[in-house]
Amino acid sequence: MNAKPVLILLALLLASCDPPAPPSTGFAGLGQQAGEFAQVERGHGLQFPADHGAHDGFRIEWWYVTANLTDSDGRSWGAQWTLFRSALRPGGEQQGWESPNVWMGHAALSGPFGHQYSETLARGGIGQAGVAVSPFHAWIDDWTLRSLGGDGLQQLEMHATGKDFNYRLQLRSDRPLVLHGDQGYSEKSGQGQASYYYSQPFYQVSGEIERAGQRFSVTGQAWLDREWSSQPLAAGQSGWDWFSLHLDSGAKLMLFQVRQENAAPYRAGTWIAADGQATPLKPEQITLTPLAWTRLANGRRVPTHWRVALSQPTLTVEIQALLPQAWMGTRFPYWEGPVRISGDSNGRGYLEMTGYAP
If we measure between CA atoms, which residue out of 150, 192, 194 comes closest to residue 174?
A: 150
Helix extents (H) in the chain:
8-16
Identify the three-state secondary structure at position 189: coil
Q: Which amino acid is at 12?
A: L
Q: Is residue 295 within the footprint of another protein (CB under 8 A)?
A: no
Give the residue with the Cβ less far from another protein, 50 or 126: 126
Q: Is 89 in the site for another protein (CB under 8 A)?
A: yes
Which residue, 62 or 203, has its beta carbon nearer to another protein? 62
Q: How far is the CB of 239 from another protein (least distance, A)?
A: 21
Residue 183 binding another protein, by CB under 8 A: no
Nearer to another protein, 17 or 264 (CB): 17
Q: Does residue 194 sit in helix, strand or coil?
A: strand
Of residues 320-339, those binding another protein (CB under 8 A):
331
| Cβ contacts of 161-164, under 8 Å, gap ≥ 24 | 161/107, 161/118, 162/107, 162/108, 162/109, 162/116, 162/117, 162/118, 163/116, 163/118, 164/116, 164/211, 164/212
Backbone angles phi, psi at 318, to 5 degrees: -110, 140
107 binds another protein (CB under 8 A): no
- The answer to whether 289 contacts another protein (rule: CB under 8 A) is no
Give Rg (Cα) of the chain: 19
If one asks whether residue 208 binds another protein (CB under 8 A), the answer comes out as no
The least distance separating another protein from the CB of residue 98, rounded to whole angstroms, comes to: 6
Task: Tell me the number of residues near another protein by CB under 8 A.
Answer: 25
Does 9 contact another protein by CB under 8 A? yes
Least distance to another protein from the beta carbon of 300, Å? 18
158 binds another protein (CB under 8 A): no
* Angstrom distance (rounded) from CA 39 to CA 58: 7
Binding residues for another protein (CB under 8 A): 9, 12-14, 16-17, 88-89, 96-98, 100, 102, 120-123, 126-128, 139, 141-142, 161, 331
